[in-house]
């Protein structure tokens, strides 16, 4: 749609909790049980809300009026777990430009 505005497209690198079901000696837990590093790409809806959320939508149906736009497939990441947010630059290519 002409004039449609999507939220900014970003890549978020963040640490995630992990569960390890295997038995291991207590003295080796710090070495053998690291956090997972995740990468999530999508449309940035919010970063660092008052209650500590960073929100990414993976689908955006933009309209000329952003208040009327819809998003779906949402990931909510605790802001304290976010390592970095990288904004994608440049305009998206159309099928003809590819």
Query: 79-88 pLDDT, tens per residue?
Result: 999 999 999 8
Q: Is residue 83 part of a domain?
A: yes
Query: 28-40 pLDDT, tens per residue?
Result: 998 888 999 999 9
Pairing of strands 53-61, 70-78: antiparallel
pLDDT above 50: residue 98: no
**Which of 4-13, 33-42, 52-61 is predicted with the least confidence, judged by mean pLDDT?**
4-13
Backbone dihedral angles phi then psi of residue 17, each to the nearest 5 degrees = -70, 150
Q: What is the pLDDT of residue 92?
A: 53
Tokens found for residue 27 = 């003295």
Q: Is residue 3 part of a domain?
A: no
Domain count, the chain: 1
Q: How many other C-beta atoms are found inside a 10 Å radius of the C-beta of residue 14?
A: 22
Range of the domain at 81: 9-90
Intra-chain end-to-end CA distance of the chain, in Å: 19
Q: Which stretches within the chain are classed as H helix?
A: 29-32
Q: Is residue 54 part of a domain?
A: yes
Q: Is residue 98 part of a domain?
A: no
């Amino acid at each position: 749609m002409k004039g449609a505005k999507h939220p900014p497209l970003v890549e978020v690198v963040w640490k995630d909790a992990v569960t390890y079901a295997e038995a291991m000696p207590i003295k080796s837990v710090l070495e053998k049980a690291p956090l997972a590093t995740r990468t999530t790409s999508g449309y940035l809806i919010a970063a660092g809300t008052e209650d500590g959320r960073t929100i990414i939508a993976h689908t955006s149906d933009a309209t000329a009026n952003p208040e009327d736009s819809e998003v779906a497939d949402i990931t909510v990441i605790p802001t304290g777990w976010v390592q970095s947010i990288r904004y994608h630059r440049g305009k998206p290519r159309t099928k003809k430009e590819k």
